[in-house]
Amino acid sequence: MIDQKRILVTGGAGFIGSHLCSKLIREGNDVLCVDNLYTGRKKNISELLKNVNFEYLRHDITFPLFIEVDEIYNLACPASPIHYQNDPVQTTKVNVHGAINMLGLAKRIKAKIFQASTSEVYGDPTVHPQLESYAGNVNCIGPRSCYDEGKRCAETLFFDYRRQHGLNIKVARIFNTYGPNMHPNDGRVVSNFIIQALKGMPITIYGDGSQTRSFCYIDDLIEAITLLMATPNDVTGPMNIGNPDEFQILELAERITELTGSRSEVVFQPLPMDDPKQRRPDITLARQTLNWQPKIKLKEGLEKTIQYFDNLLSRPG
């Protein structure tokens, strides 16, 4: 096929990675999905495995990888606190050693490379909404720092490789994203609330529920990061990708109980250390550069995500 690209997606069996692989395959590309299945799941890519243009390799990117591709999307890293805090040293390794290995690969084969960074680089922000120019308010020795500082270091490496070696890099700071293929036990607020509501369990809110988040549906996110990857060489990011609509956590719980018809009660637990009080992206740069903004409203996205988890819970085994 003319213009078919060979594309590597690390973390390709994870929540975001599996959706990205699906889009790249639909566009006619040849996709190599690399994942060590620490948080990724084979069931996320089970349908893709039937496609001749899709290949899966079980591999940990903290070790070098020697392949030939045209583009690299580096998404490998556990992204929920419950998972990245379970093995914080490995979380730092996959962010730092993994970035070095993927950047070294990109340098050797002269490939364009994308880094999935995160809104966590802003820490518990004192600026609201968060602009890309904001340097952040991060505790570098706290329980979340393996992820926060790991991602910040990865960004440093990407821009140093560009300055020193002329690499074609793209860096996106991804804000809260939700949708089908989320790990059911990842401890994130959307999946937690939906599963608790569907099971009739108490809905657990940490803190008083007044803290805010902005929730981007997965299809909107995937559109944005592929648009960023297609930009000219001089567009590098970092670029905020997320939904600027802001909701209190208590409001999210109320919406989910209403949409599921659940009678679950809300229970409050202490707020974890360094948990940000507010999070909302300024997406002016994405609007101007990519002509992009989220299309899917929270209600529509939640309905699709609830359906996914309802089907998941009803399957035997």
Higher-scoring residue by pLDDT: 2, 264: 264
CB half-sphere exposure, 85, CA atoms < 13 A = 13
What residue ranges in 199-279 does DSSP mark as E strands? Answer: 203-206, 212-214, 216-217, 239-241, 246-248, 266-269
**pLDDT for 112-153, tens place per residue?**
999 999 999 999 999 999 999 999 999 999 999 999 999 999
Over 60: is that where the pLDDT of 1 sits?
no
Could you state, in order of their start, the residue ranges of all structural domains in the chain? 6-182+215-242+281-295
| Residue 2 pLDDT level (bands cut at 50, 70, 90) | low
Q: Is 134 a catalytic residue?
A: no
Over 90: is that where the pLDDT of 221 sits?
yes
Task: Tell me the DSSP string of 49-104.
Answer: GGSTTEEEEE--TTS------SEEEE--S--SHHHHTTSHHHHHHHHHHHHHHHHH
Exactly one of 122, 147, 161, 178 is catalytic; name it.
Answer: 147
| φ and ψ at residue 125, rounded to 5 degrees | -70, 145
Over 90: is that where the pLDDT of 100 sits?
yes
The residue among 77, 99, 72, 59 whose CA lies nearest residue 14 is: 77
**pLDDT for 286-306, tens place per residue?**
999 999 999 999 999 999 999
Higher-scoring residue by pLDDT: 62, 185: 62
The Cα 261–Cα 255 span in angstroms is 10
CATH code, 6-182+215-242+281-295 = 3.40.50.720
Calculate mean pLDDT across residues 235-245.
Answer: 98
Over 60: is that where the pLDDT of 242 sits?
yes
| Residue 80 pLDDT level (bands cut at 50, 70, 90) | confident
Calculate mean pLDDT across residues 200-223.
Answer: 96
